[in-house]
C-alpha cells in the first residue's frame, strides 16, 4: 500500500522525531494491521477497500499526531491485496463459488424474465380463444333457438307432415349416403326412395290422401 503525506510543521518534522519517514512507515503498517484485523478478508479483497483505506488513514493520523511529527496524511491506497499463500487455493475456490452463485442467479433471473412474459402472453391468448369460443357458442345457440322457433311454427300448422319430415331428416343425417326403404303400415310392399326430396313428396301425398 501507499501512504501520501505532507509536512505541515518543518520544525516538528526535523526535531521531534528521529526518523520521520521510518516512523510514518512503521505507524502505517501498524495502523493497517489493526484495521485489517477488524475486517473480514473479503472486505480487503473486494469492495471494502475504500472503507479500510479511510479507517487506516484516520488511525495513522492519530498515531502521527500523538508523536507530534508535524505530518498530515493525505491518502492511504491499497494496491496489491492477496490472501496468505497457505490458503490462496481455498480463497480461489471460494471466489469461484461466488462467481458461480452469481452466474446461477443471473441465469435464473434471465429465465424468469423470459418465462413470465411468455406465460402472460399464453394466458392472454387462451383468454382470447375462450372469449371467441364463447361468442361462437352463443351465436350457434341463438341460431338454433331461431331455427327451433321457426320449426315449431311450422309444426303447429301441420303437425303430422312436420313430424314425419323431421324423422326423415334425422334418418338422412344418421345414415348418410345409404339407400333407404320406407315400409308403409299395413302393407308388405317396399317403397324405394333414393333421395330426401322423393321421400318428402311421398309423405306429402300420403298425408294428402294420394297414393
Mean pLDDT of the region 60-83: 91
Residues 80-116 have pLDDT tens digits of 888 778 888 888 888 789 889 999 999 999 999 999 9
Residue-wise burial string across 194-210, b where 16 or more C-beta atoms lie within 10 A, e elsewhere: eeeeebbebbeebeeee
Taken in order 39, 42, 48, 49, the sign of the CA dihedral is positive
Of residues 46 and 211, more confidently modeled: 46
Is the separation of the CB atoms in 78 and 1 below 8 Å?
yes
Structure-derived torsion over alpha carbons of residues 89, 54, 17, 79, reported in degrees to the nearest 10: 40
Rounded to 5 degrees, φ, ψ at 40 are: -75, 155
Give the residue-averaged pLDDT of 17-40: 92
Which one-letter DSSP state was computed for residue 100? H
Q: How far is residue 64's CA from residue 74's CA, in Å, rounded to a whole number?
A: 13
Q: Indicate if the pLDDT at residue 131 is higher than 90.
A: yes
pLDDT at residue 56, rounded to an integer? 95
Assign residue 132 a region: left if phi > 0, alpha if psi is -120 to 50, beta otherwise?
Answer: alpha
Q: What is the pLDDT of residue 210?
A: 46
pLDDT for position 199: 55
Q: H or E stretch including 3?
A: strand 2-7
At residue 203 the predicted structure's pLDDT band, cuts being 50, 70 and 90, is low
The confidence score (pLDDT) of residue 134 equals 94
Tell me: pLDDT of 186 over 90. Answer: no
Q: Rounded to whole angstroms, how far apart are CA atoms 8 and 147?
A: 107
Cell triple for residue 95?
A: 471466489
Q: Cα 68 from chain centroid?
A: 63
Amino acid at each position: 500500500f501507499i501512504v501520501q503525506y505532507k509536512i505541515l510543521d518543518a520544525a516538528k518534522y526535523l526535531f521531534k522525531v528521529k526518523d520521520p519517514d521510518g516512523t510514518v512507515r512503521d505507524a502505517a503498517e501498524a495502523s493497517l494491521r489493526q484495521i485489517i484485523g477488524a475486517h473480514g478478508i473479503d472486505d480487503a479483497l473486494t469492495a471494502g477497500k475504500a472503507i479500510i483505506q479511510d479507517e487506516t488513514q484516520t488511525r495513522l493520523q492519530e498515531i502521527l499526531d500523538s508523536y507530534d511529527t508535524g505530518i498530515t496524511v493525505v491518502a492511504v491506497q491499497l494496491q496489491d491485496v492477496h490472501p496468505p499463500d497457505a490458503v490462496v487455493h481455498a480463497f480461489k475456490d471460494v471466489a469461484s463459488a461466488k462467481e458461480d452463485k452469481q452466474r446461477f442467479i443471473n441465469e435464473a433471473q434471465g429465465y424468469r424474465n423470459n418465462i413470465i412474459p411468455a406465460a402472460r402472453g399464453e394466458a392472454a391468448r387462451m383468454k382470447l380463444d375462450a372469449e371467441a369460443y364463447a361468442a361462437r357458442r352463443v351465436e350457434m345457440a341463438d341460431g338454433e333457438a331461431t331455427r327451433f322457433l321457426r320449426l315449431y311454427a311450422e309444426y303447429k300448422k301441420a303437425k303430422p307432415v312436420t313430424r314425419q319430415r323431421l324423422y326423415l331428416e334425422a334418418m338422412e343425417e344418421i345414415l348418410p349416403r345409404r339407400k333407404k326403404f320406407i315400409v308403409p303400415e299395413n302393407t308388405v310392399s317396399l317403397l324405394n326412395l333414393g333421395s330426401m326430396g322423393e321421400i318428402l313428396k311421398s309423405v306429402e301425398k300420403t298425408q294428402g290422401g294420394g297414393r
